[in-house]
Structure 1
Amino acid sequence: MTKTAWVFPGQGSQALNMGIDLLKISSAKAKFDQAEAILGWSVSDICENDEEKLSRTAYTQPCLYVVESILADLLREKGQQPNLVAGHSLGEYIALYVAGVFDWSTGLQLVKRRAEIMDSAAGGMMAALLNFDREKLEKVISATPDVVLANDNSPAQVVISGTPEAVQTVISQVKAKRALPLKVSGAFHSHLMAAAAEEFQAILEKTDFQTAAIPVSSNVDPVPEIDANILKQRLIQQMTGSVRWREISLQLPENGIEKVVEIGPGNVLTGLIKRTASGLILENIRHAAELPE
């Protein structure tokens, strides 16, 4: 059997009409209905009709959780199972659900609160840098207060996060092929999220986590883990900690993984993995048509 990892994208991968084809599948339609009862609004309505709301953190994260988790469940119904799971930022919640750390509705309730808290954490900014001098970047970040490396995505792509002034200072001092401000409400994955993280930590601490049935590579620590307490502590650190996706990618072959399946809209993660770790079979399941027969 080919050792396989399933990976789940986070905010930024959402797209209008994502998941709408799943409504024709009765088990998936039931999950959409269940989600509406938990959220108080319709995921399918927003995914189909409201691009503006879909791009707002409070709605983006629950929509992605619902669509990605349904695709993963349909894949499991086809008899497939991963040997390892990982997710990028919000995607880590779907990974933990698939690993059996918490049930589906608990995961959605956590994501709902996380999204609301993050959506209200205004005042910072994030920017993606493409093709840059990493050594120079690390030096400038260490010399500039109020900015951090938020997402270490691949050797050639990172995201920095902090106050607008500090982010602009880094952009002006580090030559990059492209520097793109991200459409987010705050400085996610930085110390500027400390108050939001503290509020969310109280919610996480009250939530029961189970031992994972499948090892999980976490954003703040790429070493695969199944211990419930360790996975919870890693998740508590996630809102202010860096997303170490480049290291997660490098760990995949080291853990014997031969194939990676990205489950969810777009192909961001398979693209990042391709640029970081060689020799892996990469697949995408973005919608129902890409599920195996």
Structure 2
Amino acid sequence: MAPADAAHTLHTGRATLPYRAAAVITGAVETDGRALRAAPRRRPGPTPPRIVLAFPGGGAQYAGMGRELCAEEEEFDRTVRECAGLFDDGTGTGLTALITADPSDEHARRLLRDPAHGLPALFTVSLATARTLRSWGVEPDAVVGHSLGEYVAAVLSGALSLPDAATLVAVRSRGMSRAAGGGVMLTVPLTERQTLALLAEHPGLDLAAVNGPRSCVVSGPSPAVAEVERALTARGERAVRLSLDAAAHSRLVDPVLPELRAAARTVRARVPGIPLATTLTGKLLDTAPDADHWVAHLRSTVRFSDALATALGEGPAVLVQAGPGGALLQLARQQGHRQLLATLAAFPDREQPGGGRAALLAAAGELWTHGVPLDAAALHRPGRRRVTLPGLPMERRRLWIDPPAVTPAGTASDPGHSAGQAAPDESEPFQLPVWRRTPPVEADRSALRGRWLVAGPPGSPSSERVRAALVAAGAGTVTLDEAVRDPGTPCEGIVVVGPSGDTGDDPAETVSASVLHYAEVARAAASWAHRTCLLHLSHNAQQVESTDRPAAHAAAGLAVPRVLAQEFPGLRWRSVDLPAGP
């Protein structure tokens, strides 16, 4: 059985259950077994959490980052080809070649450190990742982008069209390569105040980003950054350089600003259709981003910490990094947002360049376990088929039959039952009769009136005795034939007499005849049965003493009055069993 067919069957052929688990299956038995055992089981809440897509900035790109996804995901490949048509100028190494290069290709690695090549490539794969997730049914509730990533967020939210965003990214990237290409960006484990105090001692550098309570980025010329790096190392602080040969968000990009402003004035910006938390202010962008926005965005400090808090909002949320690596997720975890349920990487890191589709599927599966719906038709490849899978294990539930509750003394609801003994329940199909000897009931014979339907086997002595007793008590009697001829006239009661003793016929035929006889009674009384009473008179149908041997055909007839009472709500019924014999 193909694992993909099994996944398709589980996703489309099974009912939604309270608990969910997801794992990426490859077909390797041992590996798949470990993945399934390690998959967390979750019970989604009544409503799915908010989905926040985060897009990384410069330094996250690496050679061959979209190699596998371009080959295996149609939407991803389509986006890469669309962006390549916008960025490539027909000279040098093309965008697609860098994205699909071998991870060990040194030439591709060097080119991707250059902002002119690395930033368009990063923009492209981040957008392709987000579009693939959306094609699977994952719709973001908010978006946020770190530096360059805000251009991806702008496209996804509708604030910029893809051609307009590509124009700005190209101008920005080429300008940074020319003007700030000799610069360096350095991550420092300091608070914003500590970083500003450090920069006061090194005035040649700028504060490029505030990523968290104790995570900032400084930017500037390489010699000045190296000096700060040595100072921090001497203090025991670990600083990390970004994989980008440029000093973004520093004074080195000032020569690029006029060109970027001119390009931004030609684009048609719109108000975001999806909430976009901008790193320029850390707040939601509620206007169309104009030229002033994009110029300040390149030159000013990246306020990612504030923008992330704004994007996450108040309710439960899941943060998905739609782009290479998981640096933004690590920053989010360090901030300890209580509403953050999970952080998911939808793209492998540079240390693990393989398994691009597996990472994307794992992220989608985790979202599904949190209650996010997925489009099965888009997620599963064409040609998948439903297969037979083992059934689900039974859910344990208690089926023990408890004894009936004892009715308090003096509250018996049926005159024929003593206090403390519950009356029979006609809605309960399974009853075990218990016999107690009681004195005969004193009946008020003068209370009978009206006409009574007495139906029994032809020539039945019991039927004749019942008719005589009813007449003696002041009631009139009619036969079944008479009731059928006059169905509109109601009867005060019905007495059905079952077969007495051994009829000599086949018991099965006797039971069938009794049921058909009851059907005639029901047809005759259909219009007034809901307001009358029925007495079923049987012979040798119950086992009262241990030596009694009930007649099977007589016992079977006891079920019919119960059924009639369900068919005619309001019909009151009782049964009386007589000893065998005439």
In 2: Cα distance, 1:274 partner to 1:56 partner? 30
Give how far 1:28 is off. 3.0
1:1-293 equivalences in 2 (<5 Å):
1-23=48-70, 24-40=72-88, 42-49=94-101, 50-121=108-179, 122-130=181-189, 132=190, 135-168=193-226, 170-171=228-229, 175=235, 177-229=237-289, 233-256=292-315, 258-279=317-338, 280=340, 281-286=342-347, 287-289=356-358, 290-291=360-361, 292=364, 293=379
Tell me the number of residue pairs that the alignment of Structure 1 and Structure 2 aligns: 291
Q: Structure 1 residue runs of 4+, over 6 Å off?
A: none
- Taking structure 1 as reference, are residues 144 and 55 closer, same or farther at Cα in structure 2, changes over 3 Å only? closer
- Checking the alignment, whether the CA contact within 8 Å between 2:283 and 2:306 is kept in structure 1 is no
Separation in 1, partners of 2:324, 2:248: 21
Separation in structure 2 between the aligned mates of residue 265 and residue 197 of structure 1, nearest angstrom: 27
Displacement of 1:183 in angstroms is 4.5
1:15-51 Cα shifts (integer Å, max 9, x gaps): 2321122223333333333233222253231123322
Greater share of strand: 1
Give the secondary-structure state (helix, strand or coil) at the position aligned to 1:177.
Answer: coil
The 8 Å contact of residues 133 and 176 in structure 1, kept in 2 or not, is answered as no
Gaps of 5+ in 2: 1-47, 102-107, 348-355, 365-378, 380-582
Aligned residues of 1:137 and 1:170 also touching (Cα < 8 A)? no
What is the one-letter code of the residue matched to 2:336?
A
Distance 1:182 1:200, change over 3 A: same
- Measured against aligned partners, the alpha-carbon deviations of 1:42-97 in whole angstroms (never above 9, x if no partner) come to 32311233222122211111111111111111111122211111111111110000
State how far apart, in whole Å, the 2-side matches of 1:27 and 1:272 are: 29
Larger radius of gyration: 2
Aligned equivalents of 2:240 and 2:68: distance in 1? 32
CA contact (8 A) 2:81 2:96 kept: no
**What is the root-mean-square deviation in Å for CA atoms of aligned residues?**
2.3
Amino acid paired to 1:275: Q
Contact 1:249–1:277 (8 Å) recurs in 2: no
Please give the alpha-carbon distance, in whole angstroms, between the structure 2 residues aligned to 1:242 and 1:35. Answer: 28
Separation in structure 2 between the aligned mates of residue 42 and residue 166 of structure 1, nearest angstrom: 34
- 1:214/1:226 contact within 8 Å kept: no
Q: Give 3-state SS (helix, strand or coil) of 2:100's partner.
A: helix
Moved more, 109-118 or 282-291: 282-291
**CA distance, structure 2, for counterparts of residue 179 and residue 208 of structure 1:** 40
Which amino acid in structure 1 is aligned with residue 50 of structure 2?
K
Distance 1:5 1:47, change over 3 A: same
Higher relative contact order (CA 8 A, sep 6+): 1
The SS at the match of 2:269 is coil
More helix by share: 1
- Residue identity in the other structure for 2:357: A
Deviation at 1:248, TM superposition (A): 2.0
**Does the Cα contact within 8 Å between 2:58 and 2:243 map onto a contact in 1?**
no
Q: Do 2:143 and 2:277's aligned partners in 1 also have CA atoms closer than 8 Å? A: yes
Amino acid at match of 1:47: I
Q: Distance in 2 between matches of 1:7 and 1:124?
A: 26
Q: Distance in 2 between matches of 1:162 and 1:238?
A: 17
- How far apart, CA to CA, are the structure 2 residues paired with 1:6 and 1:133? 25
Q: In the TM superposition, what is the alpha-carbon distance from 1:9 to its structure 2 partner?
A: 0.7
Q: SS of 1:228's equivalent?
A: coil
Distance change >3 Å, CA 28–CA 123, structure 1 → 2: closer
Change (3 A) 1:97 1:176: farther
CA separation in 2, counterparts of 1:166 and 1:51?
25
Contact 1:152–1:246 under 8 Å retained in 2: yes
Paired amino acid for 1:42: G
Q: What are the superposed Cα offsets for residues 111-134 of structure 1, whole Å, 9 maximum, x if unpaired?
A: 12211111111343322213x465
Q: Deviations over 1:90-112 (max 9, x none)?
A: 11110000001122232223212
> In 1, distance between residues paired with 2:315 and 2:251?
34
Distance 1:133 1:110 in 2: 32
Identity of aligned residues (%): 24
**Aligned 8 A contact 2:155 2:165 in 1:** yes
Letter in 2 for 1:63: A
> Aligned equivalents of 1:207 and 1:253: distance in 2?
29
Give the Cα separation in 2 of the matches to 1:254 and 1:25. Answer: 32
- Whether the aligned pair in 1 keeps the contact of 2:53 and 2:321 (CA below 8 Å) is yes
Tell me which moved more, 182-191 or 97-106: 182-191
